[in-house]
Structure 1
């Protein structure tokens, strides 16, 4: 488990490009809202720390994690964001539903990334227990939302560097 050796909120602040002109979309699942809300707060806070204006952060909710792909695609098609962060949380239960949701979201976000021009950041926490999800949403392992925000900034900078 790589996260056990790396705090999700640790990064070199100076290695992050200026984000003051960047626009972000965040699609967040309502399911497991205590976790996804914490992830959202982490992402938004980190974006702001790097100069992103509140007006350049568009947040929309979808009912569950499976809907993240559709939400991200609609945000790309309907807005002028430079990147989309997809935030969700799936906790394993007693049925194979967990596997189908995780696989569908992973494949959907991958598809958006390889077929589109806007980076879609994978912010889906997939855990066995609620405690593991809490550890990754501001608990002892940091906040995956922070990591997603940094990834989004760096991916926009990557795209912009190719278009200069």
Structure 2
């Protein structure tokens, strides 16, 4: 059984083994990615002669899931929960607080950049203002420097593909 219909399908048990996920996580991942089981036309060929009822998925769908970054998120979250439950069972409140404190708000640089819009609007607004008694020279200069550095980053990284410009 190395060609044809037998190669196109993979059982759910084999998919779980390949992806190294629990059934619960596999179901969540399939729902998120829109992958659902299929009924093979030639069940006996796919099932290597057996007539046992099984859940079958397209092999290409499972290969697609194998490269999903969300699988790592599932694993990281499980590790976090395991540590959390371990420290809670030991009643070690300081380590529980440390666990929550060490969990980054922005796990990647890209996710931090996506949340910069409000801060950037404020920086650009202050950068255009003149020096006054109320607005100190250092604040205005640092805003100008930050906006210039951000613009250079955008240019070097080719970060803008589509933009929406609002003039206030």
Same fold (TM over 0.5): no
* Range of TM-score over shorter length: under 0.3
Q: Which has the higher helix share?
A: 2
**Larger RCO (alpha carbons 8 Å, 6+ apart):** 1
Q: Which has the higher strand share?
A: 1
Structure number with larger C-alpha Rg: 2
